[in-house]
Amino acid sequence: GQGSSPEWNETLKFHVEYPTPDDDNTHKLVIKIMDQDIFSDDEYLGQATIYLKDVIEVGVEKGQGELRPQKYRVVSGDQNYRGEIQVGVTFTVK
């Protein structure tokens, strides 16, 4: 309902296992952007990938790690640029 420039202010929590097997792709957050349609199927617009390995390593060492809000490119399935999304991440050890 916000047109072509929507804004969200959401807080999401995820459980993360650390350390994991030697797989560099394990600690990444993939945000898939969809266009919600009322009378037809929702349309996939693209996705942004945020690599979290460094922030998790700092968090494990110091108790908390942070990626300040910054822009990430949203890229479609055919690798075309579709815009940006701004995301911040905080990792806290429990």
Q: Give the distance from CA 3 to its chain's centroid.
A: 21
In 10 A of CB 18, how many CB atoms?
14
pLDDT above 70 (res 22): no
| Average pLDDT, integer, range 52-65 | 92
Choice between 18 and 68, residue whose per-residue pLDDT is larger: 68
Kindly tell me the sign of the dihedral angle through the C-alpha atoms of 63, 49, 87, 9.
negative
- The per-residue pLDDT for 29 is 92
Q: Which of the four pLDDT bands, split at 50, 70 and 90, describes residue 36?
A: confident
Domain limits, the chain: 1-93
CA distance 50 to 72: 8
